[in-house]
Amino acid sequence: MKLELVIVDDSPLWLSLAEKLASAHPLVGGVLTFEDSYDAWIHIQIAKPQVVMADIEMPGMNGFSFLEMYGNRLPFISSSTKLDFEVIARELGCVDFIAKPFSKQAFFKSIDLVYDRIYGKRSA
């Protein structure tokens, strides 16, 4: 089974980087991206994706808003340039937090963690 991932980030640069990394990960089957948090919110309600990666610092609905609504029902990866946000994001239910700028290794580790949370630990 492969993951269907939704990425929400108002920065085209970070959105593009995350999309490229996700597309290269062997456990990711599909990636859908949103720059607008409200468009993402509508999609999440309708499509109920497997995993969402959301930037915390966005205009309109920020990553904390997403976590407050879905954090206990949907696996989330939170990302931010502000490391102080990690504690709050985890308290709101994110599975993992990636500090920006993130590396390919950190991104892949986060995807692996979410995959294992959904499907159980993979054998090495």
CATH number for the domain that contains residue 75: 3.40.50.2300
Instruction: Let me know if residue 34 belongs to a domain.
Output: no
Task: Please report the pLDDT score of residue 103 as a whole number.
Answer: 95
pLDDT, tens digit (0-9, with 9 covering 90-100), for 31-40: 999 999 999 9
Instruction: Let me know if residue 21 belongs to a domain.
Output: no
Instruction: Let me know if residue 61 belongs to a domain.
Output: yes
Mean pLDDT of 107-123: 89
Q: What is the mean pLDDT of the chain?
A: 94
Instruction: Let me know if residue 54 belongs to a domain.
Output: yes
Structure tokens at 26: 């062997």
Mean pLDDT of 22-39: 96
Mean pLDDT of 40-63: 94
Instruction: Let me know if residue 15 belongs to a domain.
Output: no
Provide the domain count of the chain. 1
In percent, how much of the chain has pLDDT > 90? 90
Instruction: Let me know if residue 123 belongs to a domain.
Output: no
Domain limits at 78? 48-82+95-114
Residue 123 confidence class, pLDDT cut points 50, 70, 90: low
Instruction: Let me know if residue 58 belongs to a domain.
Output: yes
Instruction: Let me know if residue 55 belongs to a domain.
Output: yes
